Chains A and B, each alone.
Chain A
């Protein structure tokens, strides 16, 4: 894992003291709210529905045990004993006191963490593949490139006041686990025929009120030009992105309005100019960073055997683990989606437990996933049963990864001041409706995502089944979308038709699954069946008129 050098630490420490002084002056009344507000937002401190909310950055979703333990301690010391892991691989605390916020940032700085650029119209926390450095299907570990981009984008003076927020994802495998093409810039690290490493640039994707899939604008930018090309992409956006209309200010609108070809032409022109400026960091810096991401000391003799005699353990292994590049090891995911729970929430005790378990079983490493779960990336197969037992005892062992029980949900109207409807109760009702093991197994991979407003914090456009909460004259109403996907086969879900009440949407989801079960062909996931048969059969079933009492009685 990356370790701060003296510059990194000094930057973060300085920012903490700066914010401490700003907060003191705000409370004393010598700094006006209109001046303070952007400063607190630049430090990740929002004012939400019930209190101040602090969003802490988890760069590319990677944490060590000390960091995770600190996140648990902060939940206890400054919040109400829990935190919420987000779809940006970050963590949020919901009950923060303004006067304590600088102390929290100081505690975070002790473990090389911060909340800088987790808000505002700047380059946000860079996300990545939660299996980076562990999976066999990657070209190379993408995290050093994500870290290089993090350093480039942190406090970048030119990009701190962009037209709108800006999100970058970096992956290095064809199996996209980071919703890469739904980012402002999606980077896929690739290898060309000559064996050279480079990055494919996808620019102009995003969700929100105008969802778009990022087009590929350059299939191979040599890795020693990564920052220069990124800078060119941002410069064109910063120069021409709309600032007159918040809803048209994201780069996806610029790319769409200019057209991919014209946007790319402008980027190439800027890129050619920037190449003459020599802004690319020396490769030695990339190598310095890369050294931090060397493989842990795997046991070359680790056994590949796994005793699956315990049926509950077998179910969890089948659902919640993935192959590791190193024989004898496995990638394991702790689900933060117990039936009846709040997707992404973890108590302070659970957070600290996961820190301890990572120390014991996963070379001190954890990953936060954009699906709001926690990954133990390097677990010896011989230790997996012990890990599962401890997770399960703490309510973290639900075997539901990528099933309909593994629901992504934004905080919704229960916490968020932007939301129009609650997300969490809907997620809970759906998880409850489908909790039977047989139902989960029958449905297989089915990604369901819920947002409480059009901003799409719950990625509803990318759900095989998506749900969007809206406000209908003060009443919560839920639209159903089908056919979204965020992986290598990224697609945007389509709205089925009129919306539903809170209970009605659960019934509608059930009807959609019944259509799938009735129409699927061998080996098809829900998404595959939807793509083959289209919307019509689903719509017909979902909106079929209810039988009258007489009809029902007559069978």
Chain B
């Protein structure tokens, strides 16, 4: 699947296109098909996000998983500070990245 990610203009937070807006959670990401670049450009022009990019992902039983490790770390947060990640209560969350 193709998923669209960016950084929120104001906070810089990593965000994922969920079909109607931006979510902090990669599991909300939808398959944007061939429309990612167009949506990204529109959202960039609207001053919502910066650095919008379409990346490869995979729908797994555990949820959406970006294909590249860099994007998985973007999705989770630093693996060495899981307390600051999106899954602070899950000590095994870092394994998802590898």
Residues of A within 8 A of B (CB): 26-27, 29, 33, 47-52, 80, 94-99, 342, 413-415, 417, 419, 422, 424-425, 428, 474-476
Contacts and interface: CB of A to CB of B under 8 A. Distances in A.
A419 B69 CA distance: 11
Contacts of A47: 7, 12, 50-51
A132 B50 CA distance: 43
Contacts of A414: 73, 78-81
Nearest to B79: A414
Interface of B: 7, 9-14, 44, 47, 50-51, 67-70, 73-74, 77-81, 84
B14 A50 contact: yes
B9 A50 contact: no
A98 B44 contact: no
Contacts of B84: 80, 95
Q: Which 3 A-B pairs have the closest CB atoms?
A: A51-B12, A52-B12, A414-B78
Interface of A is mostly: mixed
Contact of A98 (B10, B68, B74, B79): B10
Interface of B is mostly: loop
A33 B44 CA distance: 9
A51 B68 contact: no
Contacts of B14: 49-51
B73 A413 contact: yes
18 contacts: A47-B7, A47-B50, A49-B14, A49-B74, A50-B13, A50-B14, A50-B74, A51-B7, A51-B12, A51-B13, A95-B84, A98-B9, A98-B10, A342-B81, A413-B73, A422-B73, A474-B67, A474-B69
A80 B77 CA distance: 13
B70 A413 contact: yes
Contact of A49 (B10, B11, B70): B70
Contact of B79 (A29, A94, A99, A422): A422
Contact of A33 (B50, B69, B80): B50
Contacts of A52: 12
B19 to A, nearest CB: 23
Contacts of B11: 51, 97-98
A51 B9 CA distance: 10
Given A47-B7, A51-B13, A474-B69, A415 B78 contact: yes
B79 A474 contact: no
B80 A342 contact: yes
Contacts of A80: 84
A151 to B, nearest CB: 32
A27 to B, nearest CB: 6
A80 B14 CA distance: 16
Given A47-B7, A52-B12, 9 more contacts: A27-B9, A48-B12, A51-B7, A97-B12, A98-B9, A414-B73, A425-B79, A428-B80, A474-B69
